[in-house]
Amino acid sequence: QSVLTQPPSVSGTPGQTVTISCSGSSSNIGSNNVNWYQQLPGTAPKLLIYGNSQRPSGVPDRFSGSNSGTSASLAISGLQSEDEADYSCAAWDDSLNGYVFGTGTKVTVL
């Protein structure tokens, strides 16, 4: 059950900045941390951002996360060809007592 809404796709040219939105509600994004995952083609997901805006060791600072109210955003600056992947947000939902993922966004580098 995807209760977090993301745009199906975003695209940009190398070097550009793209932003992916993640819209939720007061029971998930509005009251809990948001994490972002990157899934390169044919591979397992990888944690990209945790706690709304923290980057795990090894994740380039080109990736940044933020949130406001019941929405969150992932920005990729200095877009590179290797950033072509699917990106998903996720958060704990207090009403469902479980995690909900976003619908996923495919990033294409033109």
Partner 1 sequence: EVQVVESGGGLVQPGRSLRLSCAASGFTFDDSAMHWVRQAPGKGLEWVSGISWNSGHIDYVDSVKGRFTISRDNARNSLYLQMNSLRPEDTALYYCAKGAWQYLANDAFDVWGQGTMVTVSS
Q: State the residues that interact with partner 1 by CB under 8 A.
A: 1-2, 32-33, 35, 37, 39, 44-47, 50-51, 56, 88, 90, 92, 96-104
- Closest approach, Cβ 96 to partner 1, in A, equals 7
Mapping DSSP onto H, E and C, the string for the chain reads CCCEECCCEEEECCCCCEEEEEECCCCCCCCCCEEEEEECCCCCCEEEEECCCECCCCCCCCEEEEEECCEEEEEECCCCHHHCEEEEEEEEECCCCEEEEECCEEEEEC
56 vs 78 by CB, closer to partner 1: 56
- Closest approach, Cβ 92 to partner 1, in A, equals 5
